[in-house]
Structure 1
């Protein structure tokens, strides 16, 4: 597939996949950090360490990777013809919807980390552990959509 990316298409696609891996790694880690942080709120020193870890994860991996995923992904989607009404891209629309929801989850997790840094909890430990599975579910659906292209 050449499109406007031409000879750079494979490089852009490779970079997109690399940054997806980084982002997903961070999204698998942060919710687990939130569980441990919430459980450690009774010890101020422990809670402070979790706040620091979460901040580093956010600044070094999560947010830069998510930005790269979106920039590269939009370039790939435009290259595929999503803005031109190219037929057969239903799978891509579904993928983008899931990525949009996953970005919202990312934002929620970052916001919850900031609440925990202030000592506030609004989600039970059990619910927090269940929410830990959202990135895995999203990744599974996205891979199926991209590889199988069911519609």
Structure 2
């Protein structure tokens, strides 16, 4: 079994990489919903997503589950509350990846409701950090 400190450190590192990729993706989707994203940027962002953001997302889940199991956190209220925005962000990543793929293929523009995504990403990660550090309940 891995040292719990290293496990948490790797989890946080993976979260930072995923957060950066998801925020970049959110900003690109928001810009695309306004009609202002170059095809070259979309291609690079989609490649970054596949090579960096998706593996970071998988690492976040694997390392987070391992840390929770190793520390006996399953059943804790703060972890249950934290998992709600985590699942939502995971789903948002999939929705945005599909939207960017369709835009890159010229199929359609993203729905305008995705323009709020960058704000939702920032607020969700802030809530997750507060819950994980303070463990209020």
TM-score range, shorter chain: 0.7 to 0.9
Hey, what's the Cα distance between the residues in 2 that align with 1:36 and 1:102?
A: 19
Hey, what's the Cα distance between the residues in 2 that align with 1:61 and 1:122?
A: 23
Structure 2 partner of 1:121: 109
Q: How many residues align?
A: 135
Superposed, 1:2-151 pairs within 5 Å as: 5=1, 8-38=3-33, 39-40=35-36, 46-47=38-39, 49-82=40-73, 89-119=76-106, 120-124=108-112, 127-151=113-137
Structure 1 stretch displaced more, 93-102 or 30-39: 30-39
- Runs of 5+ consecutive residues of structure 1 not aligned to the other structure: none
Task: Report the TM-score, using the length of structure 1 for normalisation.
Answer: 0.80
CA shift digits 1:41-89 (9 cap, x unpaired): 6xxxx32x13312212212221010000000000011112245x5xxx1
Hey, what's the Cα distance between the residues in 1 that align with 2:114 and 2:89?
A: 16
> Which of these two proteins has the greater Rg computed from alpha carbons?
1
Hey, what's the Cα distance between the residues in 2 that align with 1:56 and 1:30?
A: 11
Hey, what's the Cα distance between the residues in 1 that align with 2:110 and 2:19?
A: 24
Task: Report the TM-score, using the length of structure 2 for normalisation.
Answer: 0.87
